[in-house]
Amino acid sequence: MNLHIKYFGLLAEVTGCNEEILEFSKNSVSDVLSILFEKYPGLREKDFQVAQNNEIVSKEMVVSEGEIALLPPFSGG
Amino acid sequence: MNKRKPKNVFIDGAISSEFIGQSIAKHQSKTTIGAHNIFLGQVRADEIDGKEVSAIEYTAHEEIATIKFHEIREETFSKFNLTCMHIYHSLGRVEAGEICLFVFVSSPRRKEVFSALEYVVEEIKAKVPVFGKEIFEDESHQWKVNS
């Protein structure tokens, strides 16, 4: 399964890219994150929420095809 | 029943005083309104470790942000007796002293607009995925944290 992973704000600086497509087997959000933590160790210490297909989800959620967005703390206004 | 459609909230760069003025003028025909209340968020030239913030560059997860702005609108209309509400937020670079957030609520009566405006602004800060990069005079930067 291909997941379109998007990184926002300072997380995009940690990964060095805004988005990428990665292949995963069926997994939970936390499984996906542990793979991303191996690829980008700097992500480990960062605070962020995960959105799947435009909805904020828990780490236990099973991922499905589409977009996974990593959102750092909001700082609008 | 929900008939309102999500509106486009984002403006490229700073929100001008002309835009804000025209927004106010457009309400002259809505004569059931007796009270407007306006919040303007302005980019502050904070001094951090001896360097001054000269601008903030805003990015957002625009799809989620649009959904969240819409939910905040719906929730605010259900909680307060408002005639209308407008929210505009900048994307891209906004210089210190310029306006980056414009929230405008209107009602027949003043008490509603005082509480509604505070509610909307706090909800935006807490729930909308917008990210501010504070850029210093020497073009170095840090990521803004809302307090």
Averaged pLDDT for residues B135-140: 95
Query: Global pTM?
Result: 0.93
**Res B147 pLDDT > 70:** yes
Residues found in chain B: 147
Cα B147 versus chain centre, distance = 16
Q: What is the pLDDT of residue B113?
A: 97
Please give, rounded to a whole number of angstroms, the shortest distance from the CA of A54 to a CA of chain B: 5
Q: How far apart are CA A62 and CA A64, in angstroms?
A: 7
DSSP state of B126: H
Tell which B residues from 85 to 124 touch A, by Cβ distance under 8 Å: 89, 100-101, 121, 124
Distance (Å, whole) CA A73 – CA A56: 13
Tell me whether A29 touches chain B (CB under 8 Å).
no
Across the interface, of B41, B121, B143, the residue whose CB is closest to A10 is B143
Give the residue-averaged pLDDT of B80-101: 98
Q: Closest to B143 (Cβ–Cβ): which among A9, A56, A76?
A: A9
What pLDDT does residue B1 have?
Answer: 43
ipTM, interface predicted TM-score of the complex: 0.95
Q: Which of residues 38-67 of A touch B (CB under 8 A)?
A: 51, 54, 56
Residues of chain A numbered 5-24 and touching chain B (CB < 8 Å)? 6, 8-10
Does the beta-carbon distance from A76 to B58 stay under 8 Å?
yes
pLDDT of the residue at B4: 66
pLDDT tens for B76-90 read 999 999 999 999 999
Residues A2-52 have pLDDT tens digits of: 999 999 999 999 999 999 999 988 789 999 999 999 999 999 999 999 999
Cβ of A54 within 8 Å of Cβ of B63? The answer is yes
HEC sequence for chain B: CCCCCCCCCEEECCECHHHHHHHHHHHHHCCCCCEEEEEEEECCCCEECCEEEEEEEEEECHHHHHHHHHHHHHHHHHHCCCCEEEEEEEEEEEECCCEEEEEEEEECCHHHHHHHHHHHHHHHHHHCCEEEEEEECCCCEEECCCC
Confidence of residue B3 (pLDDT cuts 50, 70, 90): low
Residue B124, both tokens = 């935006």
pLDDT number for residue B7: 80
Q: Which of A9, A54, A74 is facing B146, going by the closest CB pair?
A: A74
Question: B6 CB near a chain A CB, below 8 Å?
Answer: no
